[in-house]
Amino acid sequence: MKKWFFFALIAVFFLIQASAAASSGSAEIETDTFGASVDLTVTGSIADWSLTVGENEDTESITMTVLSNNAGGYDVKVYDALDGGKPAETAGHLTRYGDSYLGTYLADPLQVRSSGAYVSLSGVQQTIESKVGISADAGDTYAIGIKQRLAPSDTILPAGQSYRIVVTFVASAL
């Protein structure tokens, strides 16, 4: 008799516990493991950038933000990945573009910088930013400087054509 009473008591205890869990609306949250993350955003625009013969620079129109939780830090590199069939010899240069790249290109390469010195864009990745440690909560924001020298010999294009380049920004956890 005592044995049955003891089992009944245990059963009642578990029933009470189960109903309490249900009525309080508690939920178990299980997270998957998370690893190093890197978020790279490049925003802004240089609208109607009128280039004149000589040095042209814009340091206020484009910003880059990196959000990273990698304790070792991150770096950001830039290069011309020759997208859209851009000829190899034009790497880093604004190149004449109609429906496709037409070969002629500005004599001087585009230059890009973040918080350091300008690098002349090429087909090789070059570091423009590097940081040891994690980013700020809202990300680390950098003003990107763009510089283009226009030579007197650079060809003035007919209507319907323009010079074009695609700059690739690559972030990496260290």
Q: Is 98 helix (H, G, I), strand (E, B) or coil?
A: coil
Contact call for residue 171 and another protein (CB under 8 A): yes
C-alpha distances out from residue 102 to 20, 83, 97, 106, Å: 74, 14, 6, 12
Contact call for residue 12 and another protein (CB under 8 A): no
Task: Name the one range near another protein by CB under 8 A: 1-9, 10-18, 21-29, 40-48.
Answer: 40-48
Contact call for residue 119 and another protein (CB under 8 A): no
d(CA 32, CA 35): 10
* Beta carbon of residue 27, minimum distance to another protein (angstroms, whole number): 22
Contact call for residue 142 and another protein (CB under 8 A): no
C-alpha distances out from residue 10 to 14, 113, 125, 138, Å: 6, 71, 68, 52
Contact call for residue 29 and another protein (CB under 8 A): no
Contact call for residue 7 and another protein (CB under 8 A): no
Contact call for residue 73 and another protein (CB under 8 A): yes
